[in-house]
Structure 1
Amino acid sequence: MEVDYKNLGLKVGLEIHQQLNTKRKLFCNCPTTIRDDKPDGEIRRILRTSQSEMGEIDKAALIESKKGKTFIYQYYNDTTCLVELDEEPPHPPSEEAIKTALQVSCLMNMNIVDEIHTMRKIVIDGSNTSGFQRTMFISNDGYIETEYGKVGITSLCLEEDACRKIEDGKDYIIYRLDRLGIPLLEITTEPDITSPKMGKEAARRIGMILRATGKVKRGLGTIRQDVNISIKNGARIEVKGVQNLDLIEKIIENEVIRQINLLEIAGALKERDAKIVDNIIDITELLKNTKSKVIKNALKKKNGKIKAVLLKGFGGLVGKEIQPGRRLGTELSDRAKVIAGVGGLFHTDELPNYGITQEEVNMLKEYVKEQLKTEITEKDAIVLVADEEHKVDRALNAIIERAQEAIKGVPEETRKALENGNTSYLRPLPGSARMYPETDIPAIKINKKVIEDIKNNLPEMPEEKLERFMKEYNLNKDLAEIMVMSHRVELFEKLCKKYKDKNIKPTLIATTLEGTLREIKREGYNVDVLTERHFNEVFDGLSNKKMSKEAVIEVLKGFAEYPEKDLNEILEIKGLKSLSKEEVEDIITDIINQNIDIVKSKGMGAMGMLMGRCMAVLRGKADGKLINSILKDKLTNMQ
């Protein structure tokens, strides 16, 4: 679909959430380590809603509480503490995290507050044990430059990250406390983004600024983007959890298409004078003998029922596609799944199907007609849900509400990003009154001298670093771009300085830290265990002739398998101890003698074949250039 984003009045704003790589968590002394081993214990809690001082209950919180889920929090005795369990007041915030937040604020031309106050932001999904997230407002009113124009930065906050979701069950969610409390920067832009490409570029630029500090975590889940999207006559939609930068563009494109199609459907529904008959009709007896496996399995449950609602004027529109592979019926189904936990729904736009016959559809329409005393035409739709009775009733009420919203147009809501660039319903947009003062943490005054020192020592931006890497280290542009964006960039520069006069070229260091590690990671090796010590040993080994360049891959594999061992032990395990020149000459002579007939007939023409056989024996034990030189000399002398 060709889309004119300007005429549609597209407005997009971003919320970037970036974990910081600090020595401690934001409000306690626990490390910012994510763990995969078995936790030491767990606690259980449930969510209860309460009225505000104005007697109101947040709509999003109310819907979450109706799900009736138990929240299970897993903890570790040595890397989580009572602060994460909400059994102890927060400690003073991390100075390292605050300094990084101030640094990013300066890089984005923002106005920094004179005094930092900590606030409590309500959390409704159980992802924080306290029911709120501590947030510090650091700066506002800044901007970044992109190739498509300037994008305003509304605010920058420093906050604690949420728990990590491990499992989402039928009536419970398991969270792990290892991620809770990791310092997180929340950067919010103005809705200045007017195209999908501009959205991606703005996110990329903010990411580059964050990485320039050298204080951000890297890897999947360490940066998350929320995208707020609206068009003229549509609604603001908040898309949560876009982890892939390349997905931002597709998310915006697909959401615009979704809103266009929903507006078209709303127009058609108004023309038909569509309305929802909110009577829920029990059709269990009518379809109790159906061959449909889904319905039969649902009716086997305790208090299993199948019920229906009539959507007047919705016929043919429930099955209308609004995004690739998603229809208005999918929107209704999403709402029913989230609110009631049912598996899905049937609707007459797609029946007969799924084991339901045409005869049963005819019976259904006739029965609904009798029960509601109304005519049913092809322009009407009937929606069916089968499950435990309390779930069915809750699901159909949610479907009625969503159908009523469809008549009006596009409902404001929070949606979840899907891997294919589509989105699905998550919850209503939360209320605006979500921030309350944190009484356990005193205000922090910002010293002007600290700000001046930060401004005078801002980190080098990626584009400046790229030019320097190409000139100073003689890297080609492609390798320089990879290295600039690498989370090992500081290690790269440290190694380059250390081995500058030891015949280890920066190109070899860069390809080792990026290309070689990527290669062995693809083979299943855990490269995350490799530390600066391992790379120092590798390059020491090369400069001291303990090993050859060809041995680097196998040595790093060895370190990944046995991170506690030193280079000599790895060389011994892998059989890669460097041979003397005399030993290499003897092995090459043996190989020539084993192939002497070919050498006599081809002379120097046998060079390629012999080089392959020499490398098969000597790879990792001698330098390739040395092997080539010795072999060439020996063949020349035999002419």
Structure 2
Amino acid sequence: MHTNNNKYEAVIGLEVHAQLLTETKAFCGCSTKFGNSPNSNVCPVCLGHPGVLPVLNQKVVEFTVLMGLATNCRINNHSVFARKNYFYPDLPKGYQISQYEEPICENGHIEVTKLDKSIKKIRIKRIHMEEDAGKSIHDQNKYTLVDVNRCGVPLIEIVTEPDINTPDEAYQYLAKIKQIVQYLGICDGNMEEGSLRCDANVSVRLKGETSLGVKTEIKNMNSFKNVERALNYEIQRQIELIEDGEKIVQQTLLWNADLNEAFPMRSKEEAHDYRYFPDPDLLPVVVNEEWINKISASMPELPEAKYKRFISQYSLPEYDAEILTQQKAIADYFEKVCQDTIDYKSASNWIMTEILGYLNEHKIEIDEFPVTAENLGKLINLISKGTISSKIAKEVFSIMIETNQNPEVIVKEKNLIQISDEGELLKIVENILSKNQNQVEEYLSGKDKVFGFFVGQIMKETKGKANPQLVNQLLKTELKKFRK
């Protein structure tokens, strides 16, 4: 069915959970390490044994305040932990410690770039601290197994206002949130491992309307692409229902990436009344101005600032600066290369084409890349000084990936140094021209393309080691002589 999508606009709000990179859990001393054997990172506190008392991890507060500051939030001096009650096999206590009426951060915003290159401000309603639940593993033998290692792992929940209108804006927003948490070093941003999770509330309305339509919630999206696909699917579904005169039912949907469809959860699981009340075992969190200032002083350079600095300090085009600062680890690698070379644009080009291409192809991160920043810097210097040609540099780079050797050593051992001796090259040029009289005649009769043939022959003769600029210069001079 073709529906007139231009009549409608979507209204989207996102809830993002980011797992904090603390060494221990939110309210006990258990390890937060991912991948340990099931039910080994546990103690009476996170297992919810009777009579135990939670103790708040100070790092959780500091990380949350950092995120609040980085997203222009107001940091509340007084916030309160609440109990969110529900019963589920992977929640031993029967409640989750979260924040409800008085969160720690409120009224922030971030800006994203829309498809038409305009800037969109997306407001952040609140950021609050909470603990994670465990994990149910549905076994093939019709059993459900429970791993409570994740119980009590600290999270922040970042909730937007319903300011997002397209799946692309949602994608850009998530990318920005991921970038910020990674720059702050508070979350690794890995959606596949569940350390960054996203739920979306979606409704549609006629353009120009101000009231909100009936919303649905989509869960279970484990990548940015899946968030975008799920939103596209749900917006289209709601428009078709409205066009057919049917009602939209408020419900929670689970996204199935394999089928590219969303399916309703069973209704009893979504009709939650969480019966929030203040946690009687935890004092209010008091963050005074002095502490906020101290946390603010520890704030690392954020993506926006780094982007602007890369343009001014390294004279890079905006495009390069944007690509290089998308991931902090790539930006750090670039700056390390620049400690060994002053040819910043070449460093940027090598990273954006050769290195990012290699990382994508092999599905690895920059910290697993075999060539050190120092060695890449040395390779760029060999080209800048004219020791080797760009073509030879590609060969050397391939060897560096295999062996992680110093490029200077490779060039010496394999005798790849560029021939820039004018006398030596002149002999080769004269020899090639005397051997190819027919081509010389063609060139003189106006077939300029033959010039490339001569260059190719000289490169073949010198195994690609001839200095290309010098070859061009000498060839032009020698061919002129034939015109007399």
Question: What is the alpha-carbon distance in structure 1 between the residues aligned to residue 360 and residue 430 of structure 2?
Answer: 39
| 1:480 positional shift | 1.9
Tell me which of 288, 294, 297 is aligned to 1:447.
288
Deviation at 1:229, TM superposition (A): 1.8
Partners of 2:418 and 2:467 within 8 A in 1: no
Residue 613, structure 1, aligned to residue 460, structure 2? yes
| Counterpart selection for 1:2 from 4, 9, 17 | 4
Q: 1:198 and 1:156, CA in 2 relative to 1: closer, same or farther beyond 3 A?
A: same
Determine the C-alpha separation between the residues in 1 that align with 2:427 and 2:150: 59
Aligned to 2:320: 479
Taking structure 2 as the reference length, what is the TM-score of the superposition? 0.67
- Please say if residues 266 and 409 of structure 1, whose CA atoms lie closer than 8 Å, have aligned partners that are also in contact: no
Corresponding position: 1:109 with 2:111:
no
TM-fit CA distance, 1:188: 0.7
Q: 1:102 to 1:414 in 2, by over 3 A?
A: same
- SS for the counterpart of 1:12 is strand
The 2-side partners of 1:84 and 1:551 are apart by: 62
* Residue of structure 2 equivalent to 1:18: 18
1:199-257 deviation line (CA, Å, top 9, x unaligned): 55655555565466465425553533211123579643111134454665654453244
Q: State the secondary structure of the residue aligned to 2:255.
A: strand
Let me know the Cα RMSD of the aligned residues.
5.2
Residues 75 and 104 of structure 2 are in contact (CA less than 8 Å); yes or no, is this contact kept in structure 1? Answer: yes
Superposed CA deviations along residues 314-335 of structure 1, whole A, max 9, x for unmatched, are: xxxxxxxxxxxxxxxxxxxxxx
Matched-pair contact (CA < 8 Å) for 2:68–2:127: yes
Q: Decide whether the 8 Å contact of 2:82 with 2:278 is kept in 1.
A: yes
Structure 1: 5+ residue stretches without partners: 44-74, 268-407
Question: How far does residue 190 in structure 1 lie from its aligned partner after superposition?
Answer: 2.5
* Aligned residue in 1 for 2:124: 153
Aligned to 1:431, what secondary structure does the other structure show?
coil
Using a 3 Å threshold, how does the CA distance of structure 1 residues 16 and 599 change in structure 2: closer, same or farther?
A: farther
Match of 1:258 among 237, 242, 255: 237
Q: 1:614 to 1:97 in 2, by over 3 A?
A: farther
Q: Is the 8 A contact 2:203 2:216 kept in 1?
A: yes
- Are 1:189 and 2:30 matched, yes or no? no
Q: Who is 2:362 aligned against?
A: 524
- What's the CA shift for 1:102? 1.0
Alignment of 1:42-81 (within 5 A): 42=38
**Count of residues in Structure 1 that have an aligned counterpart in Structure 2:** 442
CA distance in 1 between partners of 2:61 and 2:334 (Å): 26
Identical-residue share of aligned pairs (%): 20
| Deviations 1:154-177 (CA, angstroms, capped at 9, x unpaired) | 220234556688876462467878
Specify the SS of the correspondent of 1:488: helix
TM-score of the two chains, using structure 1 as the length reference: 0.53
Q: How is 1:347-426 mapped onto 2 (pairs within 5 angstroms)?
A: 410-416=249-255, 418=257, 422-426=261-265
- Determine the structure 1 residue equivalent to 2:273: 432
**Structure with larger Rg:** 1
2: CA distance between counterparts of 1:443 and 1:117? 5
- Establish whether residue 228 from structure 1 lines up as the match of residue 201 from structure 2: yes
After superposition, the C-alpha distances for 1:404-437 in whole angstroms (9 at most, x for unaligned) are xxxx861422432647764222344251316566
Unaligned runs of 5+ in 2: 113-117, 206-211, 441-450, 480-484
Measure, in 1, the Cα distance between the counterparts of 2:400 and 2:477: 42
The yes-or-no answer on 1:171 pairing with 2:142 is: yes
- C-alpha contact 1:527 1:560 (8 A) present in aligned 2: no
Match of 1:511 in 2: 349
Work out the CA distance in 2 between the residues paired with 1:554 and 1:519: 16
Q: For residues 602 and 246 of structure 1, do their structure 2 counterparts lie closer, same or farther at Cα, with a shift above 3 Å needed?
A: same
Q: CA deviation at 1:198?
A: 5.5
Aligned residues of 1:84 and 1:129 also touching (Cα < 8 A)? no
Contact 1:547 1:578 in 2 (8 A): no
